[in-house]
Structure 1
Amino acid sequence: MPLAVKDFTWEETEKMVFITVPLKGVKANKVDILSSEEYIKVNYPPYFFETFLFAPVDDTVSSAQIGNGAVVFQLLKNEPTLWGQLHAVNTGDKDFMRKKRDEAIQRNQERAESERKEKAEKKRESEKYTLNEMMRLEEQERGRINDVKEEEKKKAMDELERWKEEQRQAAEKERQRILEEEMAKEAARREELKKQKKRKGKNIFEESSGGNPTREVGKIEVKFTPRVFPTPVRESQTPLEEEWLRKQAEAQKIIEVEDADLTEEEKNPIFMRDKGNAFFKSGNYQAAINAFTHAIRYSPKMPSLYSNRAACHLKIRNFFKAIEDCSKAMDLLHPPVPQNADSRCKALVRRGTAFCELELYVEGLQDYEAALKINPNNEQLKQDADKMRSIIQSSKG
């Protein structure tokens, strides 16, 4: 049975009430306190203290401190006045006492529930604020990354535009040079025709009138040089064919590079090209690139070396290098003649593929359409070109 504590002390002022309850050696963590506006209970087995206050107090600002072997209550009165006694007048009434206990318990439960809800609401607000802050920071980071991507894309596009302008200027210079050569050849041909007309205008019988004998009949043998291009004369493009043959001859010339560590085979660009092709077939694309680069060192005007190296760059997704190599191959494959049609078609398709991988579908479509002009019966090229047109149309839409 609990033992009621009788040796408590209390003091009062007009505004405050101070109650000191001794703990009698009981540890502070075993003390249970229940308080309300009109009721105070301290339970620390086997001891028990309770009091029904003479008048209500403000329980929200009152306090209870445990320390130095006692519990000290500091209670703020609702109405400033001197009570004269601590206990309520009806302390002996059991119904009154039971009612006040129940009210105190209910009030504490309501207060605990209110505090729990308030704490949960604060926790939700804190989590909501934290989540919003995280989302804001993530949005800032996404914006920063997008800005970096756009800047890199802009730089790449500017670089590509500069490169295309350089290629256009180079092509224009080459076209002007070819045009000047054609004009010079045409002028020379006309001059030769004039000379032939003058020679034909002379009377071959004028000399015989001076008493000289008539020339004897003879036979002239005419031998024709076999043509490399089996093109009919009416369709012949002699200047372009001659220029292509000259470029082929230049491509076969091997640059002498002094390197004692290389064998004679390693100094042969044809051997290194075949070796690069073997590496490509086996899937060793970096070794193939090294082989083609080594071959270009000895034969920088062989277009197949650049075109094959571009295919390797496509495999390892070096798209800008693939575009550069294909463009170099196209320069070396000029002028366009039937003998280099297949090589030009391959270079155009590879460059168009690199453009598409960079999402530059308009440039890629231009190369594919140029390849289709060379090989109009290639169904795969037609299908790929149609796909690009669909992508371009959808992006415009």
Structure 2
Amino acid sequence: MPIAVKDYSWDQNEKLVYLTVPLKGVKTNKVDIFSSEEYLKVSYPPYIFECLLHQPVDDEASTAQVGNGAVVFKLKKTDSSQWPQLQSDDAGNKEVMKQKREEALEKSQTRAKEKQKAKEEKKRETEKYSINQMMQIEETDRERIEHLKQSERNKATEELEQWKNEQMKQAEQEKLRLLQEKYKEDKIHRKAKKEEHKDEEIQDDMFRSGVRQNGHIEVKFTPRVFPTPVRESTTPLEDEWLKKQAESRRVVEIEDKDLSEQEKNPVWLRDKGNSFFASGDYQSAINAYSHAIRLNPKMPALYSNRAACHLKIRNFFKAAEDSSKALELLTPAVQQNAASRCKAHVRRGTAFCELEMYVEGLMDYEAALKIDRNNEKLQQDADRIRHIIQTETTS
């Protein structure tokens, strides 16, 4: 049976009650303390201290410290009156003590449940707040990313429109140049025929008069014209393509003592770039093609091959630009440059699709299919792009 402790001490002022309970040599880790507004209990076997307070106290603002061989309670009064004694007059009544003990235990359990509930509620509120903050941050990031993507789309669209306008302008200039050349050729042809008719008239007059005269007769031949319809003949276009190819072979002379003879040869640089490309060194290949272009800016293969390198390192705007330059040089469209035109269209179409400009990309793939109609791989890629466009339209 526990031994009741009677040799405690207490003191008070207007606000606090101080109570000291000796531990009688018991270790502090074996002390069990329980308190409520009216009831105190300190259990440290074989000793026990129970106290039914004279007046209720503020249990939340009260403290208990264990140390130096004693338990010291600092109890906050609910009013400033002086207590005549520490314990209530009912402290000697076992039934009342039992009732107060049970009430104190029940209140303590209820208070513990309320604290746990409040703690859980606060935790839920904190988690809810954290989730809301994360959602706001994610929404802000999504809006920022969408804004960046839209800005890139707008920029790409503006650049494409500018490029289209430049292409149309260049096409008009090329058309005007061809018309001017044709006009000059027709004028020279008419002049030659006129002089030929004039020579024939002079010869007829000399024959009729029977006069033989010594002199030099200049004979001119008119070009032979074949009866093939113009819409079916590609000879003028092929002649123009051959003329452009001959011009493209002219190398710009660069005075640089640091360059070897090979490094001044654009064909050697093109082959060197192809070697770099095959080994996966795309930046070195770009450098080789760029140097070759500086030597000879009219070789379409240099631009087309450099576009393939830009695709590999995801410089899609550069790839589209180089492909367009290659197509510009691959004119007129003849059978001799069909394969090169097909590659340039495919590379520019691929760059457009990577930039999410699927309509423009499909136009280039369809242009490539007109050149190589039996290419199943091109047909599959074009069908895939159409499917993407249709999906975006329906969504």
| Same fold per superposition (TM over 0.5) | yes
Q: Which moved more, 1:61-70 or 1:41-50?
A: 61-70
Q: Is the 8 A contact 2:8 2:22 kept in 1?
A: no
Partner of 1:64: 63
| Distance across 2 between alignment mates of 1:64 and 1:211 | 152
Task: Give the 3-state SS of the residue equivalent to 2:108 in structure 1.
Answer: helix
Q: Is the 8 A contact 1:61 1:76 kept in 2?
A: no
Q: Is the 8 A contact 2:58 2:78 kept in 1?
A: no
1:330-341 pair list within 5 angstroms = 330-341=327-338
Would the alpha carbon gap of residues 346 and 16 (structure 1) be closer, same or farther in structure 2, given more than 3 Å must change? closer
Partner of 1:181: 181
- TM superposition shift of 1:300: 1.9
1:305-320 pair list within 5 angstroms = 305-320=302-317
| Distance across 2 between alignment mates of 1:354 and 1:174 | 26
Would the alpha carbon gap of residues 141 and 223 (structure 1) be closer, same or farther in structure 2, given more than 3 Å must change? closer
Partner of 1:164: 164
Would the alpha carbon gap of residues 83 and 244 (structure 1) be closer, same or farther in structure 2, given more than 3 Å must change? closer
| Distance across 2 between alignment mates of 1:95 and 1:83 | 24
Q: Which moved more, 1:109-118 or 1:237-246?
A: 237-246
Q: Which moved more, 1:293-302 or 1:142-151?
A: 142-151
Instruction: Give the letter aligned to residue 74 of structure 1.
Output: L
| Distance across 1 between alignment mates of 2:158 and 2:107 | 75
**Cα deviation code 1:83-127 (max 9, x no counterpart):** 755444443333332232222223222222222222222222223
- TM superposition shift of 1:355: 1.4
**Cα deviation code 1:219-274 (max 9, x no counterpart):** x998999x9xx995754355434432221111111222223343333322222323
| Distance across 2 between alignment mates of 1:82 and 1:291 | 101
Question: What RMSD in Å do the two structures reach over aligned CA positions?
Answer: 3.7
Q: Is the 8 A contact 1:269 1:298 kept in 2?
A: yes
Q: Is the 8 A contact 1:273 1:292 kept in 2?
A: yes
Partner of 2:215: none
Q: Which moved more, 1:96-105 or 1:185-194?
A: 185-194
Task: Give the 3-state SS of the residue equivalent to 1:266 in structure 2.
Answer: helix
Query: Is structure 2 residue 241 aligned with structure 1 residue 244?
Result: yes
Residue of structure 1 aligned with 2:379, choices 372, 375, 382? 382
Task: Give the 3-state SS of the residue equivalent to 1:376 in structure 2.
Answer: coil
| Distance across 2 between alignment mates of 1:368 and 1:386 | 10
| Distance across 2 between alignment mates of 1:377 and 1:315 | 26
The normalised TM-score by structure 1 is: 0.80
**Cα deviation code 1:16-64 (max 9, x no counterpart):** 7735234367677765332234322233555432222455x25455523
Q: Is the 8 A contact 2:196 2:220 kept in 1?
A: no
Instruction: Give the letter aligned to residue 334 of structure 2.
Output: V
Instruction: Give the letter aligned to residue 126 of structure 2.
Output: S
Partner of 1:216: none
Q: Is the 8 A contact 2:58 2:75 kept in 1?
A: no
**Cα deviation code 1:253-296 (max 9, x no counterpart):** 12222233433333222223233333333433333333323322
Partner of 1:259: 256
Q: How many matched pairs?
A: 384
1:385-396 pair list within 5 angstroms = 385-396=382-393
- TM superposition shift of 1:359: 1.6
Partner of 2:128: 128
Partner of 1:210: 209
Residue of structure 2 aligned with 1:268, choices 265, 269, 281? 265
Partner of 2:22: 23
Identify unmatched segments of 5+ residues in structure 2.
213-218
| Distance across 2 between alignment mates of 1:52 and 1:319 | 86
Identify unmatched segments of 5+ residues in structure 1.
214-219
